[in-house]
Amino acid sequence: MARYSISRQGVGGRPKGPPTKLVRVPVRVAEFARQLAQGRLRAGDVQAFLEVEGESRTVVPFYEATAECGFPSPADDYLDRPLDFNELLIANPAATFAVRIAGESMTGAGIFPGDIAVVDRSRTPAPGCIVLALVDGGFTVKRYRRRGDQVLLQAENPAFTDTLLSAEQAFEVWGVVTHSIRML
- Contact (CB, 8 A) for 121 and 44: yes
Euclidean distance between CA atoms 119 and 129, whole angstroms: 12
* Known catalytic residue at 105: yes
Euclidean distance between CA atoms 163 and 142, whole angstroms: 9
* Known catalytic residue at 142: yes
Among 105, 122, 166, 180, the active-site one is 105
Among 21, 142, 166, 180, the active-site one is 142
Euclidean distance between CA atoms 107 and 143, whole angstroms: 12
Euclidean distance between CA atoms 182 and 126, whole angstroms: 24
Residues designated as active site:
105, 142
